[in-house]
């Protein structure tokens, strides 16, 4: 009698478990490992949100088998520069910039679409570098709770910047602001150290070395990292010297700055593709015709500095700087990184192992290996031969053990 009650109880409990709790075994035709090498005919076993084994044996008995033997599997990619909360629905008569203000709760729900478009590209983790009204905190937390579908998010909240028409910010103010962001819930601190955004490629530095350093030191003292935006070379130089963990954008980097990045291990996120996007989307934004040539000139200089920095050994990470209608194009940066001299495997590392380490998640993100989050992407074709397989041929995405994109049928 007791046994019967127990089995009935076990049965009920088992039936009540969500489907994702079952062990999954994924058959991969080919898998690109963390060293950028292809391994064929692999079985990946996933329990809940974690990879438990990667091998060539048979799937465990009772496992839910997912057959991806037609595809190449890579680790879920990481886009280290997004603005997930910048939402635009493309309604006629509206533009991405200058939309009416929305309550933060409305933006949170609408921006879920940006999160889903990002997953479609095989990006399962983002670092979001600047948002208003803590909408990025809300998205991060809802996604972690399983209440919103999207990539795992590491977020900065509101970036620190110079006042538009006031005096330059002083070190004490930035120290306090960095601490306030962290206290409010930011994972990262973002600093805008120069002008330049959207159609403007103005490289003017707006924050001094001393002020950047005060914010960086304050964040580091609390074990948080700092990303510094600079369109021009002087701001990049000062950001690197001030101890930024990553520097965003930038052109005309001098040899001394590049050498300093190598010595310090500073990660550079050139975001070359975002200006390509602004050129392509000029009509959506209503950009003036005379803004296009400077954007194109910036792209060329951005690419040239990336080529020199990569050759010198600077760690480079994939960042799209995606906003509004750019979501869904998050990984196009990979094409520019190959143009800058990377092999496709090196470009993939810039979207997996390098950003995982930047995020301090090198033991759980950026690789398909035991103990790592089950963030896995299946693509058609051979991404080691042609990086476009990663950009245009994503067919299936698993994030934390859950299938979030399936175009295999």
State the nearest-atom distance from the C-beta of 9 to Zn ion, in Å. 53
State the nearest-atom distance from the C-beta of 90 to Zn ion, in Å. 21
Q: Which is nearer to Zn ion, 213 or 274 (CB)?
A: 274
- Phi/psi of residue 25, nearest 5 degrees: -120, 120
Q: Does 375 bind Zn ion (CB under 5 A)?
A: no
Q: Which of residues 64-93 bind Zn ion (CB under 5 A)?
A: none
- The span of 109-117, 162-170, 287-295, 317-325 binding Zn ion (CB under 5 A) equals 317-325
State the nearest-atom distance from the C-beta of 187 to Zn ion, in Å. 16
Q: Which of 146, 148, 144 is nearest to 108 (CA)?
A: 148
Beta strands in 37-102 (DSSP E): 38-47, 50-55, 64-75, 77-82
State the nearest-atom distance from the C-beta of 217 to Zn ion, in Å. 23
375 burial (CB, 10 Å; 0-12 / 13-18 / 19+) is: buried
Q: Does 321 bind Zn ion (CB under 5 A)?
A: yes
The total number of residues shown for the chain amounts to 409
Distance separating alpha carbons of residues 279 and 271, to the nearest angstrom: 14
CB distance 150 to 123 below 8 Å? no
Site string for Zn ion, 267-306 (x = CB under 5 A): ----------------------------------------
Q: Does 333 bind Zn ion (CB under 5 A)?
A: no
Distance separating alpha carbons of residues 78 and 152, to the nearest angstrom: 9
- The span of 20-28, 30-38, 315-323, 331-339 binding Zn ion (CB under 5 A) equals 315-323
State the nearest-atom distance from the C-beta of 330 to Zn ion, in Å. 13
| Nearest-CB residue for Zn ion | 321
CB distance 203 to 233 below 8 Å? yes
Provide the token pair at 290.
């005379």
CB distance 228 to 239 below 8 Å? yes
- The span of 9-17, 31-39, 171-179, 313-321 binding Zn ion (CB under 5 A) equals 313-321
CB-side neighbour CA atoms (13 Å) of 399? 25
Q: Which is nearer to Zn ion, 72 or 306 (CB)?
A: 306
Contacts with Zn ion by CB under 5 A: the residue count is 1
Q: Which residue has the tokens 């130089």?
A: 237
CB distance 342 to 283 below 8 Å? no
- The span of 16-24, 288-296, 321-329, 340-348 binding Zn ion (CB under 5 A) equals 321-329
- The span of 47-55, 231-239, 318-326, 362-370 binding Zn ion (CB under 5 A) equals 318-326
Site string for Zn ion, 224-243 (x = CB under 5 A): --------------------
Residues that bind Zn ion (CB under 5 A): 321
């Amino acid at each position: 009698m007791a046994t019967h009650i127990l089995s009935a109880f076990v049965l009920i409990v088992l039936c009540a478990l969500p489907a994702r709790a079952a062990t999954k075994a994924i058959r991969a035709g080919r898998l690109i490992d963390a060293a950028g090498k292809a391994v064929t005919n692999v079985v990946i076993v996933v329990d809940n949100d974690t990879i438990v084994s990667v091998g060539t044996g048979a799937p465990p008995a009772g496992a839910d088998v997912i057959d991806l033997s037609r595809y190449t599997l890579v680790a879920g990619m990481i886009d280290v520069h997004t603005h997930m909360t910048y939402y635009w629905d493309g309604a006629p008569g509206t533009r991405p910039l200058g939309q009416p203000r929305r309550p933060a709760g409305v933006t949170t729900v609408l921006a879920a679409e940006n999160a889903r478009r990002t997953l479609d590209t095989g990006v399962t983790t983002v670092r979001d570098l600047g948002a208003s009204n803590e909408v990025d905190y809300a998205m991060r937390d809802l996604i972690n709770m399983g209440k919103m579908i999207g990539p795992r998010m590491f977020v900065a909240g509101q970036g620190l910047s110079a006042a538009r028409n006031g005096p330059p910010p002083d070190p004490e103010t930035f120290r306090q602001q960095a601490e306030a962001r962290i206290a409010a819930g930011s994972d990262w601190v973002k600093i805008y150290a120069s002008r330049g955004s959207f159609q403007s490629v103005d490289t003017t530095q707006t924050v001094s070395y001393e002020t950047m350093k005060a914010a960086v030191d304050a964040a580091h003292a609390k074990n948080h990292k700092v990303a510094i935006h600079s369109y021009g070379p002087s701001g990049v130089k000062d950001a690197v010297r001030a101890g930024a963990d990553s520097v965003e954008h930038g052109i005309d980097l001098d040899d001394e700055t590049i050498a300093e990045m190598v010595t310090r291990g500073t990660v550079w996120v050139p975001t070359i593709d975002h200006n390509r996007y602004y050129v392509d989307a000029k009509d959506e934004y209503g950009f003036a015709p005379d803004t296009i040539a400077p954007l194109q000139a910036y792209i060329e200089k951005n690419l040239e500095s990336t080529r020199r920095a990569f050759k010198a050994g600077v760690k480079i990470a994939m960042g799209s700087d995606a906003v509004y209608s750019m979501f869904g194009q998050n990984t196009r940066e990979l094409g520019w990184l190959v143009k800058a001299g990377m092999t496709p495997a090196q470009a993939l590392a810039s979207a997996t192992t390098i950003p995982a380490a930047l995020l301090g998640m090198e033991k759980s993100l950026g690789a398909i290996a035991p103990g790592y989050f089950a963030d896995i992407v299946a693509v058609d074709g051979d991404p080691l031969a042609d990086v476009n397989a990663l950009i245009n041929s994503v067919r299936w995405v698993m994030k934390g053990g859950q299938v979030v994109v399936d175009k295999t049928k």
